[in-house]
Amino acid sequence: MAEQVFRFNLDYLTLLQSTNSDIGTGDAASGVFRFYGNWQANELGSLTFKLEHRHAYTDVAPKFLGLDGGSLAIIGTAFNENGAMLTNLF
């Protein structure tokens, strides 16, 4: 019988963007806290998960800074203000 193993990690990512455009907001900042891991239940199966909390520090999150300033570029798609969510479970 295989040993049950639970592995996990925590990380925190931050993104700060700035623009000198005359349109829209000039700064955008956001953070993502992630808790993710894997539980190896036995030799036949495992469970992998990732929980995230995405939050903005400014009125406009980095995901929308380009759109707010008139650009079609969307940069930093994970850096939004969606709050807590389960992004992976398999």
Is the pLDDT confidence value at 76 over 70?
A: no
Nearest-angstrom CA–CA distance, 50 and 35: 6
Domain region containing 37: 5-89
Indicate the number of domains in the chain: 1
The answer to whether 13 and 29 are in contact (CB under 8 A) is no
Question: Cα-flanking dihedrals φ and ψ of residue 64, to 5°?
Answer: -105, 5
User: End-to-end alpha-carbon separation of the chain, Å?
Assistant: 22
User: If DSSP codes are grouped into helix, strand and coil, which group holds residue 64?
Assistant: helix
pLDDT in tens, 4-38: 889 999 999 999 988 776 766 578 899 999 999 99
pLDDT in tens, 37-62: 999 988 888 999 999 999 999 988 88
The answer to whether 11 and 61 are in contact (CB under 8 A) is no
